[in-house]
Amino acid sequence: MKKICVVGVGYVGLVTGACFADLGNSVIALDVDEERIENLKKGILPIYEPGLEELVERNVRSGRLTFTTSYKEAVDGTEFAFIAVGTPSGVNGEADLQYVASAATSIAETMTGPMIIINKSTVPVGTGDWVADIVKRAQPEPVDFWVVSCPEFLREGSAIGDFMSPHRTVLGSLHHEAAEKVAQLHLPLRAPIVITDLRTAEMIKYASNAFLATKISFINEVANICEALGADVKEVAVGMGYDKRIGPMFLDAGLGWGGSCFPKDVLALAYMAEEKGLNPRILNSVMDINYERRKEAVALIEAMTEGVNGKTIGLLGLAFKPNTDDMRDAASVDIAQELTAAGAKVRAFDPVAMDVAGALLPAVEMCPDPYTMSQGCDALMVITEWNEFKQLDLEKIKGLLNSPVIFDGRNIYEPAVMSAMGFKYRGMGRGFNGR
Ligand code: UDX
Ligand code: UDX
């Protein structure tokens, strides 16, 4: 059992803290947001993540997981301090590290004994060295510490599973023994552990996310070619995925990626390259293709409805992906705003994200369920592939719509089935497939 503190109880920090507690460690989770901490002490979580409420409750009850806003309390006697604060994009796309600096400074000012400081947040290559300088300068008295990079590979909606069964744990440090100690924390996960230097570990994270984003933009470009040539990209992806060198995952064509990671991480990696005078052509194209998807979707629904002005359009799903309430860079925001600007009345239903989305989309009418929303709509758009949309009573939906028009931004329906039911249906990349 080790004493661990986690700074930042967002999507990454709260999952990290709760999982380390569940492995038997004593974890104290800190945040500067007092309301967030007060709520957590009452069992109210700041985010929706499947399974997290029960995991937090169980570990709080066992006394392994506690919450505080006091760095002194969090750091006292702690051997490991994970920094999991936000690293949002700055104005030019660079990662904004002010919160990392603030966390590192506060740890340095309060640490009482030797400590391993671990960057869990996604930070630009070279940040580990920078954090070490901050800590050294901020310490009132020199106290031994070592910096380790331990990037997170958590997907929202499956974060607990991703933590407990990682494909690999990546550790980077200039001090091998410090990395080895952090490796010990991860042994119960029984996954491969890659130990390298700080910069390489930081780069593994960016390169991994940028590759996954590239895979998605690749299949989205193929989707447009499929559409033009009469092939079904969904089946193309199946045929490709059996090749072990390609793999079946992250080949779902549609509205593309959003969230708090891919957008920020691809942008940051391109920025790091350009800072060094390089031209990240692929990364820039990956971003261009991705954000075009949202414009293409609006153009398609405009064509399907012969103009959205004065029409009512219903959005099925708002969150950037299923099983989360996270609206950060969600495609729904751009699409809803463009439709409203084009004179449409926009309605929406999302099983989880409507509270968060309401603040971002005040002009959108939030509806209690897909059927109520469909009543009187001129068209529907599938924006987020929540499971509950996959078996909707489409006959009932058809009867509620003014006109049977569905744009499927996540290709959850089959073109042949939809046309047989009398829908005017468009997916993204669903050429022919009349079978
Ligand atoms: C963040 C980054 O976005 C991600 O790239 C990185 O890999 C992990 O950290 P996330 O957990 O989604 O991911 O951040 P967010 O949900 O914004 O939570 C950050 C938390 O840090 C917030 O609760 C915020 O209050 C807290 N925080 C911020 C601090 O505790 N101290 C600070 O100085 C600033
Ligand atoms: C991602 C990485 O997967 C994770 O390893 C990293 O730690 C954080 O960033 P996350 O952003 O939570 O995780 O979600 P993910 O499931 O990767 O989806 C990212 C975006 O890509 C979503 O908007 C999703 O809708 C989209 N996506 C995903 C596709 O458009 N097609 C796909 O095939 C897969």
**Is there a contact between 300 and 294 (Cβ–Cβ < 8 Å)?**
no
Relative to the CA of 250, which ligand 2 atom is closest? 33
Strand ordering across the sheet containing 3-7:
65-68, 26-30, 3-7, 80-83, 115-119, 145-149, 169-173, 193-196
β-pairing verdict for 312-316 and 345-349: parallel
The SS3 call for residue 431 is coil
Relative to the CA of 152, which ligand 2 atom is closest? 7
CA-nearest residue, atom 14 of ligand 2:
155
CA-nearest residue, atom 5 of ligand 2:
153
> Could you tell me the pLDDT band of residue 433, with boundaries at 50, 70 and 90?
low
Relative to the CA of 385, which ligand 2 atom is closest? 25
Domain identity same for 243 and 166: no
Q: What is the DSSP string of 397-417?
A: HHHHSSS-EEEETT--S-HHH
Whether the pLDDT of residue 435 is over 70: the answer is no
pLDDT digits (tens, 9 = 90+) for 176-204: 999 999 999 999 999 999 999 999 999 99
Domain ends where: 196, 218, 244? 196
Domain identity same for 252 and 167: no
In a domain, 217, yes or no: no
Domain identity same for 245 and 145: no
In a domain, 216, yes or no: no
CB-neighbour burial class of residue 103 (10 A; exposed 0-12, middle 13-18, buried 19+): buried
pLDDT of residue 1: 81
pLDDT digits (tens, 9 = 90+) for 31-41: 999 999 999 99
Looking at residue 344, its amino acid is A
CATH of the domain at 319: 3.40.50.720
In a domain, 136, yes or no: yes
Range(s) of the domain holding residue 342: 233-426
Domain ends where: 196, 223, 249? 196
| Structure tokens that stand for 16 in this block | 């990290």
| The three-state (H, E, C) secondary structure of 303-363, written as one string | HHCCCCCCCEEEEECCCCCCCCCCCCCCHHHHHHHHHHHCCCEEEEECCCCHHHHHHHCCC
Domain identity same for 280 and 376: yes
| Structure tokens that stand for 38 in this block | 């007060």
Domain identity same for 8 and 66: yes
Average pLDDT over residues 299-312: 98
Among 260, 261, 262, name the best residue to mutate to test ligand 1's pocket (greatest count of ligand atoms within 8 A of Cβ): 260
**Dist. CA 404–CA 407, nearest whole Å:** 10
Domain identity same for 130 and 22: yes
In a domain, 45, yes or no: yes
Centroid of ligand 2 to alpha carbon of 383 (angstroms): 15
Domain identity same for 26 and 88: yes
In a domain, 222, yes or no: no
State how many domains the chain has: 2
Domain identity same for 59 and 128: yes
pLDDT of residue 434: 57
Domain identity same for 189 and 49: yes
| Structure tokens that stand for 100 in this block | 């990392």
**Is there a contact between 254 and 428 (Cβ–Cβ < 8 Å)?**
yes
| Structure tokens that stand for 326 in this block | 């996270």
In a domain, 207, yes or no: no
In a domain, 160, yes or no: yes
Domain identity same for 287 and 411: yes
> Could you tell me the pLDDT band of residue 432, with boundaries at 50, 70 and 90?
confident
Centroid of ligand 1 to alpha carbon of 294 (angstroms): 27
Active-site residues, by number, are 261
- pTM of the entire structure? 0.95
pLDDT digits (tens, 9 = 90+) for 357-402: 999 999 999 999 999 999 999 999 999 999 999 999 999 999 999 9
Average pLDDT over residues 141-163: 97
The continuous run of DSSP H or E covering 63 comes out as none
| pLDDT more than 90, % of the chain | 97
Whether the pLDDT of residue 219 is over 80: the answer is yes
pLDDT of residue 202: 96
pLDDT digits (tens, 9 = 90+) for 2-33: 899 999 999 999 999 999 999 999 999 999 99
In a domain, 211, yes or no: no
DSSP-H helix ranges across 62-197: 71-75, 98-110, 127-138, 159-164, 176-186
Domain identity same for 192 and 237: no
Average pLDDT over residues 73-82: 95
pLDDT digits (tens, 9 = 90+) for 240-294: 999 999 999 999 999 999 999 999 999 999 999 999 999 999 999 999 999 999 9
The continuous run of DSSP H or E covering 249 comes out as none
Q: Which residue is listed with tokens 């030019």? A: 92
CA-nearest residue, atom 33 of ligand 2:
250
Q: Which of 200, 217, 207, 305 is nearest to 254 (CA)?
A: 217
Residue 155 CB neighbours (<10 A):
16
CA-nearest residue, atom 3 of ligand 2:
155
Proportion of the chain in helix, strand, coil states, percent, rounded to 5: 45, 15, 40
Average pLDDT over residues 220-233: 97
Domain identity same for 183 and 259: no
**Is there a contact between 259 and 321 (Cβ–Cβ < 8 Å)?**
yes
Centroid of ligand 1 to alpha carbon of 86 (angstroms): 3
Residue 8: what are its φ and ψ, rounded to 5°? 105, 110
pLDDT of residue 304: 97
Ligand in closest contact with the CA of 252 = 2
Centroid of ligand 2 to alpha carbon of 426 (angstroms): 23
Contacts of 335 (CB under 8 A, 6+ apart): 255, 294, 297, 298, 315, 381, 383
